Structures are given as structure tokens and as C-alpha cells.
């Protein structure tokens, strides 16, 4: 049976780079992003090498999550789930004493609650030995000034993911820090700064492939420290 991967936030950056790598390795893909135009452009590119189901929408929306799971079900299950969709929040990042709570809730809705709910919904469709990856950040463990919203949401994402792994030893459940990357989100996080010295998203893909295609124990990993022979 053809392996299948569900990747959220796959229209650009790390999500798209990983989708391309998996497409080259024969995976069927279910991908999403908020912007329909960029998503379908990515899907057209990916479809040159594999079957792609692209569903535009917001992972914080229950109907959208159910549409993703329905697509997985039509494919007969899923081997890899990558929670990559993420919301930075305001930029520049406000201090916690000034952080609007409605925006704080929105960041948590996308970064914490949405991937947990999607995991709950997709659980019956995970094939034996499936991989679940939550993409995190060093802001989840380092108390950077001004990063209270995004950083704390990633900390919460990390902890529920690792608890889920403890509760499901039959699965491979990973928290993965891809490191700094030259992506639009990183540019948004540092408006006006030159981030051209940072590696492209493709530099983190071999580490993700080591988790997806290897046999490492569930836990937290930094992608670019993983020894791997996989090319992006």
C-alpha cells in the first residue's frame, strides 16, 4: 500500500519542503494551508510526482479538520501526520503585560488546540507504527523577552505531544525543533531585519526524514542534530 502523509501548513517553508521530499519518496499527500492560491500552486508542483489532495482552510476550524480526516480515510489511512501549521501572532511581539487576550487565545487555538483535536480525529486512521510530528521552536524552552504568546503555545504543544506519545507507545510521536530557517514566518518574526544568513527550510528536512523513516524513540529532537544519510 502506498504510504500517506498529512502535512498542515504545506504551501510554503518547511511544510512544502518536507512535502516535496516525501513526494519524491512515493508518499501520497494530504496538505492544507489558509491561502487557497498558494496552496493550489504548491499542490500543482507536488502533483508532478505523486497523488496530492489539497484542502484550503484554517486548522482551527472543526469542519476543516474533519475534511482533512475524510481525505485520509478515503486513502485508506495515514502513516505520517505533521503538525506544521502555526500562528506567530503580532509582530513585533508584544510583552505579556500588553498582550491582547483575544489574540493570545487565537494563537493557542491554532498552535495548541487545533493539532490536538486533529490528532484525536485522525487517531482511528493511523496505520500501524505511524509517525506523529509536532513542529516546535526553541522559543518553547527559552524565555525570550516578547515571545510569551508564541513561545508558551509551543511549550504547550510540546507537552501534550509528549504525553500523547507516552499514552500511545505503539506509535512514534515526536516533537521536532527545525532550528532557525529563512522562511516567511521567521521574517515576520523579525520585521526589517536581514535573515539571509539563515539556512533554508530544506536544511531541516533530512532530520525530519530520519524520524519519519527511522526507528527513533518517541521524544523531542532538534532536526539538524540528527545524523542521517537522507537528502532533502
pLDDT in tens, 191-213: 666 556 667 888 999 999 999 99
- What mean pLDDT comes out for the span 8-26? 96
Q: Would strands 52-56 and 28-33 be described as parallel, antiparallel, or unpaired?
A: parallel
Q: In whole angstroms, what is the distance from residue 21 CA to residue 13 CA?
A: 13
Distance of CA 109 to the CA centre of its chain: 15
- What mean pLDDT comes out for the span 89-95? 88
What pLDDT is attached to residue 147?
85
**Confidence band, pLDDT 50/70/90 cuts, at residue 227:** low
> What CATH number was assigned to the domain covering residues 4-225?
3.40.50.720
* pLDDT at position 231 over 80: no
* pLDDT at position 153 over 60: yes
Q: What are the structural domain ranges in the chain?
A: 4-225
* pLDDT at position 36 over 70: yes
Amino acid at each position: 500500500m502506498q504510504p500517506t502523509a498529512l502535512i498542515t501548513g504545506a504551501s510554503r517553508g518547511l511544510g512544502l519542503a518536507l512535502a516535496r521530499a516525501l513526494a519524491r519518496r512515493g508518499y501520497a499527500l494530504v496538505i492544507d494551508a489558509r491561502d487557497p492560491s498558494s496552496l493550489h500552486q504548491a499542490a500543482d508542483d507536488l502533483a508532478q510526482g505523486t497523488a496530492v489532495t489539497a484542502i484550503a482552510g484554517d486548522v482551527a476550524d472543526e469542519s476543516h479538520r474533519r475534511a482533512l480526516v475524510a481525505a485520509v480515510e478515503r486513502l485508506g489511512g495515514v502513516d505520517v501526520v505533521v503538525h506544521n501549521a502555526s500562528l506567530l501572532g503580532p509582530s513585533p511581539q508584544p510583552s505579556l503585560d500588553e498582550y491582547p487576550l483575544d489574540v493570545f487565545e487565537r494563537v493557542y487555538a491554532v498552535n495548541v488546540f487545533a493539532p490536538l483535536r486533529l490528532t484525536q480525529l485522525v487517531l482511528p486512521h493511523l496505520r500501524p507504527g505511524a509517525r506523529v510530528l509536532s513542529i516546535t521552536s526553541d522559543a518553547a524552552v527559552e524565555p525570550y523577552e516578547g515571545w510569551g504568546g508564541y513561545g508558551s503555545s509551543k511549550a504547550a504543544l510540546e507537552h501534550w505531544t509528549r504525553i500523547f506519545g507516552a499514552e500511545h507507545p505503539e506509535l512514534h510521536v515526536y516533537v521536532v525543533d527545525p532550528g532557525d530557517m529563512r522562511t516567511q514566518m521567521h521574517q515576520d518574526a523579525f520585521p526589517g531585519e536581514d535573515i539571509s544568513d539563515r539556512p533554508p527550510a530544506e536544511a531541516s528536512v533530512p532530520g525530519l526524514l530520519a524520524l519519519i523513516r527511522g526507528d527513533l524513540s518517541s521524544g523531542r529532537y532538534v532536526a539538524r542534530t540528527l545524523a542521517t544519510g537522507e537528502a532533502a
